[in-house]
Amino acid sequence: MSPRLSQDGFSLVELIVVVVLLGVLASGAGLLITNPIEAYQDQLRRQQLVDQGEMALRQIARDVRRALPNSIRITAVGAGAALEMVNTVDGARYRDEFGGIYTADQDFLLDFASPDAVFNLLGSLSNPAAFDANNRLVIYNTSVNVYAEAVDVDNQGIITNNAITLGFAALNPGINQEHQITLSAPFQFTQQSPGQRAFFVDSSTSYVCDPAGRQILRYAGYGFRAAQPTTPADFGVAAGKVISELSSCSFSYSAGSAQRGGILTIEIAISDSGEAVNLLHQIHVVNVP
Residue 270: CA count within 13 A, CB half-sphere? 22
Provide the pLDDT for residue 10. Answer: 63
Calculate the average pLDDT of the chain: 86
**80 and 107 co-located in one domain:** no
Q: How many domains does the chain have?
A: 2
**180 and 99 co-located in one domain:** yes
Segment 54-76 shows an average pLDDT of 94
**224 and 141 co-located in one domain:** no
**81 and 211 co-located in one domain:** yes
Helix (H) or strand (E) holding 229: none
Say which residue, 247 or 48, is predicted with more confidence: 247
Question: Which of 181, 201, 221 corresponds to the end of one domain?
Answer: 201
Provide the pLDDT for residue 273. Answer: 79
pLDDT tens for each residue of 155-192: 788 999 989 999 999 887 777 788 899 999 999 999 89
Burial label for 16, CB within 10 Å (0-12, 13-18, 19+), is exposed
- pLDDT tops 60 at residue 151: yes
Provide the pLDDT for residue 2. Answer: 54
Q: Which of 238, 27, 194, 240 is nearest to 94 (CA)?
A: 194
Provide the pLDDT for residue 37. Answer: 67
Distance CA 145, CA 148 (A): 5
Alpha carbon 173 to its chain's center: 37
Q: Which of 197, 240, 214, 182 is nearest to 63 (CA)?
A: 240
Q: Which of 156, 158, 180 is nearest to 168 (CA)?
A: 180
**197 and 241 co-located in one domain:** no
Segment 231-243 shows an average pLDDT of 93
Residue 233 domain boundaries: 48-86+204-285
Provide the pLDDT for residue 216. Answer: 95
- pLDDT tops 80 at residue 138: yes
Segment 92-98 shows an average pLDDT of 87
Give residue 29's pLDDT band: very low, low, confident or very high (50, 70, 90): low
- pLDDT tops 90 at residue 19: no
Give residue 38's pLDDT band: very low, low, confident or very high (50, 70, 90): low
Question: Which of 186, 201, 216 corresponds to the end of one domain?
Answer: 201
**179 and 244 co-located in one domain:** no
**92 and 82 co-located in one domain:** no
Q: Would 159 be classed as within a structural domain?
A: yes
Distance CA 276, CA 15 (A): 48
Give residue 93's pLDDT band: very low, low, confident or very high (50, 70, 90): very high
Q: In the chain, which ranges are continuous DSSP H helix?
A: 12-65, 146-150, 232-235
- pLDDT tops 80 at residue 50: yes
Give residue 230's pLDDT band: very low, low, confident or very high (50, 70, 90): very high
Say which residue, 17 or 113, is predicted with more confidence: 113
Provide the pLDDT for residue 174. Answer: 72
**106 and 192 co-located in one domain:** yes
- pLDDT tops 80 at residue 252: yes
Taking the chain, what is the end-to-end CA distance rounded to the nearest angstrom? Answer: 121
Count of CB atoms within 10 A of residue 204's CB?
A: 25
State what percent of residues in the chain have pLDDT above 70.
88
Q: Would 193 be classed as within a structural domain?
A: yes
